[in-house]
């Protein structure tokens, strides 16, 4: 045997599936550096499903015999079970999930039949297909988590229709609101987040499998057959786009980042509100931790960590945008860097939704502390100005007069409500009643009966709309789950 031949012999690790072109073994550092199996194993379920659909299609168009199809499908089903039970052993030398599964199929059914599976496909269209299926399922899981949180918020809102606190702008007391109204604001934001995940799912309708490495195939593949088997409505239209694009992943990451920002803002309020300075809420013991040094401490770690993890989820979006921005068509190996950000954002968001739901559901509201803060007469200054407007005074003029009234109260340490009609006339002649009549907490809340305002009936109506909207959307998601032809389980 010549030196060359013996090199070749040695360089032919039975595990590698790219065969004849290579004469040397991959350097072990390169193997470690390029392998993705330690994270893309999360796609195993989808990869097996995609391979089964592909094998069935190959037989359907006459590219493989019925016996081979049966052997391949049964082999893949066995591998699916091995992965599920943890019996499967993942080999980093086999680089990624696609080659790990195909190599195992060779062990299970023999290389001759197993070697027919990769007909007319490439890992490039495989990974795009796996990801589309993963994103479809994970977006549904995120939606479900959002609906649970909205349900917790609306249920706490119903308890606190008559709990009043200051609404803030610039974290300065602005105008009084009902706690229900305050929490319903987050219900609206989260409703749009869920709708964004729904939009994404509705956009994942095209199946990349069959696009091959990037140009399609000379073989008579039936891409519609594969697409239908995997629950897509059609094949992707352009083979190059099929393997080159990650905008669906970016859309997922961006929706996750926006939703995390909303959770972070909820968290920020939980942190502030549970401080001694506010004392508006107490988080339950199950959602707080103590200090190892200071025995008196009860720390809001759960909302703090949600707020902290938001940084990573935003980073994940920026990471993939940055990976993609300079890539020429079509597939480039850089794109393997899409997976860790996606998996991390998915699990971080779902976990954050779950703990935020629990924290909201179990926190205690200090109704008195909120009421004390809301009894600040300055919260009614706008109402005094609007009283003048009702008497025909232009708003800018009213605003200026009440501004001077407020300054007078601040300087002399007076309660705005203590001013008589006479006192008020010193600031504007149109005033026709004492401040205590023109500006009351009740009128401030009840007077704002415009759509989206703080009046009790308005808030009750908004709450009812939010509750039934949430139930309808949850039901719809559950219905879609049972009608998914692939049996995909959006958790
Ligand atoms: N593991 C790769 C990825 O995650 C997919 C395989 C494509 N690799 C390749 N060398 N063409 O993107």
Q: What is the CATH number of the domain that holds 363?
A: 1.20.200.10
Give the catalytic positions in this structure. 170, 291
How far is Cα 220 from Cα 230, in angstroms, rounded to an integer?
Answer: 19
pLDDT computed for residue 12 by the predictor: 40
For the chain, percent of residues with pLDDT exceeding 90: 89
Residue 344: inside a domain, yes or no? yes
Q: Is residue 17 part of a domain?
A: no
Q: In this structure, are residues 49 and 41 in contact, taking their beta carbons and an 8 Å threshold? A: no
Is-contact 16 22, C-beta < 8 A? yes
pLDDT digits (tens, 9 = 90+) for 259-277: 999 999 999 999 999 999 9
pLDDT at 345 over 90: yes
Under DSSP, is residue 482 helix (H, G, I), strand (E, B) or coil? helix
Q: Under a CB-based contact definition with an 8 Å cutoff, are residues 218 and 119 in contact?
A: no
Q: What ligand 1 atom has the least distance to the C-alpha of 95? A: 1
- Ligand 1 site residues (CB inside 6 A) read 36, 40, 96, 123-124, 127, 331, 333, 335-336
Is 147 found in the same domain as 38? Answer: no
Which stretch of 53-67, 77-91, 278-292, 334-348 has the lowest confidence by average pLDDT? 278-292
Q: Average pLDDT over the chain, rounded to whole?
A: 94
Determine the average pLDDT of the residues in 394-412: 96
Question: How far away, in angstroms, is 339 Cα from ligand 1 center?
Answer: 11
- Rounded CA-CA distance 380/156 in Å is 26
From 333, 337, 340, 343, the mutation candidate for ligand 1 (largest count of ligand atoms within 8 A of CB) is 333
Range of the domain at 47: 26-114
The pLDDT tens digits for 71-97 are 999 999 999 999 999 999 999 999 999
CB atoms within 10 A of CB 373: 18
pLDDT of res. 7: 45
- pLDDT of residue 392 exceeding 80, the answer is yes
259 and 390 assigned to the same domain: no
Residues 332 and 438 in one domain: no
The answer on 90 and 141 residing in a single domain is no
**Residue that has been written with the tokens 């800018």 in this structure:** 396
Residue 483 has pLDDT above 50, yes or no: yes
* Total number of domains constituting the chain: 3
CA 34 / ligand 1 centre spacing (Å): 10
pTM of the model: 0.93
Domain end marker among 64, 81, 114: 114
């Amino acid at each position: 045997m010549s030196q060359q031949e013996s090199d070749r012999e040695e360089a032919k690790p039975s595990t590698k599936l790219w065969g004849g072109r290579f004469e040397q073994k991959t350097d072990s550092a390169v193997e470690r550096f390029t392998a993705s199996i330690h994270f893309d194993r999360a796609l195993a379920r989808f990869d097996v499903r995609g391979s089964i659909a592909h094998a069935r299609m190959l037989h359907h168009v006459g590219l493989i015999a019925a016996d081979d199809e049966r052997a391949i499908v049964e082999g893949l089903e066995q591998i699916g079970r091995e992965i599920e039970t943890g019996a499967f052993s993942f080999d980093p030398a086999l680089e990624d999930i696609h080659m790990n599964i195909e190599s195992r199929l060779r062990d299970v059914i023999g290389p001759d039949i197993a070697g027919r599976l990769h007909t007319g496909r490439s890992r490039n269209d495989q990974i795009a297909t796996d990801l589309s299926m993963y994103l479809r399922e994970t977006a549904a899981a995120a939606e479900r988590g959002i609906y649970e949180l909205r349900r917790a918020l609306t249920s706490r809102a119903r308890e606190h229709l008559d709990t009043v606190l200051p609404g803030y702008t610039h974290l300065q007391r602005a105008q009084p609101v009902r706690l229900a109204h305050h929490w319903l604001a987050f219900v609206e934001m989260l409703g749009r987040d869920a709708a964004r995940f729904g939009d994404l799912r509705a956009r994942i309708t095209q199946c990349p499998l069959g696009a091959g490495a990037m140009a399609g195939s000379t073989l008579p593949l039936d891409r519609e057959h594969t697409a239908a088997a995997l629950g897509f409505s059609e094949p992707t239209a352009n083979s190059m786009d099929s393997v080159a694009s990650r905008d669906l992943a970016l859309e997922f990451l961006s929706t996750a980042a926006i939703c995390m920002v909303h959770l972070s803002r909820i968290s920020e309020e939980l942190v502030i509100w549970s401080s001694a300075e506010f004392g508006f809420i107490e988080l339950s013991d199950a959602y707080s931790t103590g200090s190892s040094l200071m025995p008196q401490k009860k720390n809001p770690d759960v909302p703090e960590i949600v707020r902290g993890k938001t940084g990573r989820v935003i980073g994940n979006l920026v990471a993939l945008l940055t990976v993609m921005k300079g890539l020429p068509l079509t597939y480039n190996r850089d794109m393997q860097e899409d997976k860790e950000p996606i998996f991390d954002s998915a699990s971080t968001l779902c976990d954050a939704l779950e703990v935020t739901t629990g924290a909201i559901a179990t926190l205690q509201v200090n109704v008195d502390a909120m009421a004390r803060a809301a009894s600040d007469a300055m919260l009614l200054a706008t109402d005094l100005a609007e009283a003048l407007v009702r008497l025909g005074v232009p708003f800018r003029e009213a605003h200026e007069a009440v501004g001077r009234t407020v300054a007078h109260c601040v300087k002399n340490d007076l309660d705005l409500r203590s001013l008589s009609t006479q006192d008020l006339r010193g600031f504007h002649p149109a005033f026709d009643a004492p401040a205590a009549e023109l500006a009351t907490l009740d009128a401030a809340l009840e007077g704002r009966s415009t759509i989206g305002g703080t009046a009790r009936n308005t808030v009750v109506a908004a709450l009812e709309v939010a509750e039934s909207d949430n139930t309808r959307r949850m039901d719809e998601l559950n219905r879609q789950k049972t009608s998914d032809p692939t049996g995909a389980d959006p958790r």
